[in-house]
């Protein structure tokens, strides 16, 4: 029987190093707040380089034994962790809502989504095959085996406080790596709760270590990992500028990197699309987590023939979305994560309007609900000069761009340094094949708005990063290939 916890039993405020909850070396703490109200939920460890170093020391001590466990034993631990996550999905979902602000149904959905990666990689642990290379010379046998890369440092963002860290820890542990991790400063509580459950599932001391840090102290703490040659890999999800910084700063010890970075996803609706389905797909893709997802459509290109109808249908459905605190069971969109986030959304909308965009619905803050709420917004007549065309808005704003022909839409969609997700709607099979091949993105949704799955490779191209999470490819990022050449056999 797996244990079910109450929400308050899952709240941990210290670092988890070498199987123990410990205060930070400097004894400092920082506040974690409810984004809806600004109320302090907990005060967690504000770690510095010394704490990062202690985590690495523990991970280094634990590595040889964990590397040598049988894959089926690592799989069993991960399956127990998965079971604990599922058993505690309600409490974890509420914790996500509390510190991140997404409605409870979405918070719970995120728990199940994150847990699905743990189950997936538990099974993948037992399928880490190598190769026997066909003989090239008499008396020599050549083979390739896969080995865990070593200590992995995992650094994650605030928008999916559970799923982002679960889909890094699970493959790392499955591969036989040990982990040091740091969740985002806005949302460390869910990650700490997850680590508590991992420990209960039987992850040995030192195999998984997590420290929290304020934004300022994250820099020296992570810098210690970047400079430490014992840390062999960085897996990061977050913004592109921080990803580039990590790549630069880890070059001194030539670490392997997986970078899941920002997007600026295009969503194209062709004249031959099923317009109702396109509106439904856009709502699913755009408004999950209030538009604060890296794969959410940021630029919506609609062909002239269906532009007005699409805009009308979309506006009606967006205007009906319920904005409310995560605790309201009817909530579809909660607060944005913080003041910086809502200021960026308002800046993007104001800039668009000043350059000629028309507000079809929304376009304003909702101070009656609180300082971090923004109305779901549809803007018509968007143009490439607007800020929201060039940068991720990361909020509930849909700008509609009009286009006339396919080549124009593809050029506009690809005219960005980013290449994470992209979407298009068309019912013409030849066009589907053409457009899918031409879009510069790691992920393409074709007549579909909900793309994420543990069985699929998730990741980007261009400045959206490299590496893939999930799928049969996901373990490769945590493994290195060793070539064995045995001679003297004849
Ligand atoms: P961010 O890059 O600001 O922060 C991400 C993490 O990096 C946090 O833990 C933060 O503390 C840490 N960090 C920031 N600066 C650092 C530094 N100088 N040294 C060490 N650590 C540092 O990103 P965010 O605002 O938390 O998240 C939003 C971004 O993440 C968006 O751009 C979004 O698209 C992206 N994202 C990408 C994916 C994906 O899979 N591609 C998924 C979710 C979010």
Structure tokens at 465: 């990063």
Residue 217 Cβ contacting ligand 1 at under 6 Å: no
Q: Give one DSSP letter per residue of 140-180, joined into a string.
A: -EEEEEEEE-SEEEEE--SSSTTHHHHHHHHHHHHHT-EEE
Active site residue 260: yes
**Ligand 1 centroid, distance to 239 Cα (angstroms):** 4
Catalytic residue, chosen from 106, 110, 260, 463, is 260
In the numeric block, the tokens 């350059």 are attached to 355
Residue 218 Cβ contacting ligand 1 at under 6 Å: yes
- 48, 238, 250: which to mutate for ligand 1, most atoms within 8 A of CB? 238
CA count, 13 A, side-chain hemisphere, 105 = 10
State the Cα torsion 8-9-12-16 to the nearest 10°.
Answer: -170
Nearest 5°: phi and psi at 280?
-60, -45
Instruction: List the beta bridge partners of residue 45.
Output: 29
**Ligand 1 centroid, distance to 25 Cα (angstroms):** 25
- 157, 163, 235, 247: which to mutate for ligand 1, most atoms within 8 A of CB? 157
Q: Give one DSSP letter per residue of 392-437, joined into a string.
A: ---SSEEEEEEESSHHHHHHHHH-SSEESEEEEE---HHHHHHHHH
Residue 186 Cβ contacting ligand 1 at under 6 Å: no
Residue 237 Cβ contacting ligand 1 at under 6 Å: yes
Kindly tell me the number of DSSP H helices and DSSP E strands found in the chain: 14, 22
CA-CA distances (angstroms) from residue 43 to 23, 33, 382? Answer: 11, 9, 43
Quote the pLDDT of residue 182. 98
**Ligand 1 centroid, distance to 475 Cα (angstroms):** 22
**Ligand 1 centroid, distance to 42 Cα (angstroms):** 22
Residue whose CA is at the smallest distance from ligand 1 atom 3: 239
Residue 222 Cβ contacting ligand 1 at under 6 Å: yes
Residue whose CA is at the smallest distance from ligand 1 atom 8: 184
Catalytic residue, chosen from 99, 106, 110, 294, is 294
Residue whose CA is at the smallest distance from ligand 1 atom 17: 219
Residue whose CA is at the smallest distance from ligand 1 atom 15: 242
Where b means 16+ CB within 10 Å and e means fewer, 277-314 reads: ebbebbbebbbbbbbbbbbbbbbbbbbeebbeebbebb
Which of these, 228, 230, 257, lies nearest to 243 by C-alpha position? Answer: 257
**Ligand 1 centroid, distance to 71 Cα (angstroms):** 32
**Ligand 1 centroid, distance to 83 Cα (angstroms):** 28
The list of the chain residues with pLDDT below 70 reads: 1
Active site residue 469: no
């Amino acid at each position: 029987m797996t244990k079910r916890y109450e929400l308050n039993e899952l709240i941990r405020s210290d670092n988890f190093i070498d199987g123990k909850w410990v205060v930070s070396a400097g004894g400092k703490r920082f506040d974690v707040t409810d984004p809806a109200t600004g109320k302090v939920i907990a005060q967690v460890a504000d770690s510095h380089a010394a704490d990062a170093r202690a985590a690495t020391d523990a991970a280094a001590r634990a590595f040889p034994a964990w590397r040598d466990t049988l894959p089926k034993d690592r799989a069993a631990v991960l399956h127990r962790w998965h079971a604990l996550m599922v058993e505690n999905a309600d409490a974890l979902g509420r914790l996500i809502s509390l510190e991140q602000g997404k409605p409870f149904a979405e918070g719970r959905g995120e728990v199940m989504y994150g847990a699905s990666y743990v189950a997936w990689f538990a099974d993948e642990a037992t399928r880490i095959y190598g190769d026997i290379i066909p003989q090239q010379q008499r008396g020599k046998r050549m083979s390739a085996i896969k080995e865990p890369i070593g200590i992995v440092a995992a650094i994650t963002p605030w928008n999916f406080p559970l799923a982002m860290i679960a889909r890094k820890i699970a493959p790392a542990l499955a591969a036989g790596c040990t982990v040091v991790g740091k969740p985002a400063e806005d949302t460390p509580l869910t990650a700490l709760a997850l680590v508590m459950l991992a420990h209960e599932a039987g992850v040995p001391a030192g195999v998984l270590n997590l420290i929290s840090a304020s934004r300022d102290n994250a820099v020296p703490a992570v810098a210690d990992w970047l400079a430490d040659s014992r840390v062999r890999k960085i897996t990061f999800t977050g913004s592109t500028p921080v990803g580039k910084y990590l790549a630069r700063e880890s070059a001194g010890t030539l670490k392997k990197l997986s970078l899941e970075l920002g997007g600026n996803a295009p969503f194209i609706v062709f004249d031959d699309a099923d317009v109702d389905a396109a509106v439904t797909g856009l709502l699913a893709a755009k408004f999950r987590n209030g538009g604060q997802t890296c794969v959410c459509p940021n630029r919506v290109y609609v062909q002239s023939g269906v532009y007005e109808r699409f805009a009308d249908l979309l506006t009606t459905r967006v205007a009906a979305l319920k904005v409310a605190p995560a605790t309201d069971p009817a909530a579809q969109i909660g607060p944005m994560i913080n003041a910086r986030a809502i200021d960026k959304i308002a800046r993007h909308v104001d800039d668009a309007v000043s350059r000629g965009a028309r507000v079809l619905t929304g376009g304003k803050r909702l101070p009656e609900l609180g300082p971090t709420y923004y109305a779901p917004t549809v803007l018509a007549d968007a143009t490439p000069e607007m800020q929201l065309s060039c940068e991720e808005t990361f909020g509930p704003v849909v700008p509609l761009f009009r286009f006339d022909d396919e080549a124009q839409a593809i050029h506009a969609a690809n005219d960005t340094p980013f290449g994470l997700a992209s979407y298009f709607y068309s019912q013409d099979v030849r066009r589907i094949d053409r457009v899918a091949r031409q879009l510069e993105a790691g992920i393409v949704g074709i007549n579909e708005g909900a793309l994420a799955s543990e069985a699929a490779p998730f990741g980007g191209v261009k400045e959206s990063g490299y590496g893939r999470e999930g799928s049969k490819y996901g373990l490769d990022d945590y493994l290195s290939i060793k070539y064995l050449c045995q001679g003297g056999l004849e």
